[in-house]
Amino acid sequence: MRSKRIKKTMANIPSAFIVFLLGVVLAFIRKPAVVKDIKFGPSPMEIVQFTSHAWKQGFIKGTIPQLPLSILNSVIAVCKLSSDLFPGKEFSATSVSITVGLMNLVGCWFGAMPCCHGAGGLAGQYKFGGRSGGCVAILGAAKMALGLVLGTSLVRILDWFPVGILGVLLLFAGLELAMTCRDMNSKGECFVMLICTAVSLVGSSAALGFVCGMVVHVLLKLRNYSSRDQSACTVFINGTP
């Protein structure tokens, strides 16, 4: 009976968590001296003072290039992926946009990295067993606890985290994200997807891929409308009701 309970408990542990723990263990094996760098306690927090030059550079070099990617990945893609993975629990793009904006508006004053919801993160959580909002709450609580207990020492540990293990996690998350294209039921939709992907990879710009994809999508729609109009004219000329 006890062995069955242990097996059941082990089966309920997310595989990604086990892989992550393995990566942490390997990080200590690769760099045993990192133990000496561990200091307990949170890192000091300071309010960041932004100059007018910093605002200008941030807007030109950060906001403008990042805006298309943020809208696509952290708003539109998240809403679409959420409706695919959790039918009947859709939420509006407005609510997602507001939460992303609030996170960054609050965090930037404390030197936080820009953050978003991200379709890749949602796909990864779903792939590795996350099915409710509780898993996100637990994840957030765990991150806060690690930050308060280890502070910047956590960064030194993760610097030695094996990139190969991280790549495996990202691979499965990417496969789950790629599976969302299975509902494409026309060659036109697949063609637009391939154009967006190819241009983004070759041009190293998601914005350029987005623009090219939208242009191709509009051209395909116009072609379909013209084909329908020609069919309607043919029917009218032939006198067929």
pLDDT of amino acid 227? 66
What is the per-residue burial (b if ≥16 Cβ within 10 Å, else e) of 2-41? Answer: eeeeeeeeeeeeeebeeebeebeeebeeeeeebeeeeeee
Residue with tokens 């294209």: 181
**Residue 136 CB partners (closer than 8 Å, separation 6+):** 125, 130
Query: Among 52, 48, 100, 58, which residue's Cα sits nearest to residue 75?
Result: 100
Residue 237 CA from chain centroid, whole number:
53
- Which two three-digit tokens encode residue 152? 């910047």
pLDDT of amino acid 46? 85
Residue 149 to residues 43, 58, 143, Cα–Cα distance (Å) = 9, 32, 10
> Tell me: the pLDDT tens digits for 145-192?
988 888 888 888 888 888 888 888 888 888 877 777 777 767 778 888
pTM for the whole thing?
0.70
- The share of the chain scoring above pLDDT 70, in percent, equals 90
pLDDT of amino acid 173? 82
**Residue 166 CB partners (closer than 8 Å, separation 6+):** 23
Query: Among 211, 135, 123, 111, which residue's Cα sits nearest to residue 171?
Result: 123
pLDDT of amino acid 102? 92
Residues of the chain with pLDDT under 70: 1-2, 6, 9-11, 185, 227-241
Cα–Cα distance for residue pair 116/75, rounded to 1 Å = 9
H, E, C per residue of 177-192: HHHHHHHCCCHHHHHH
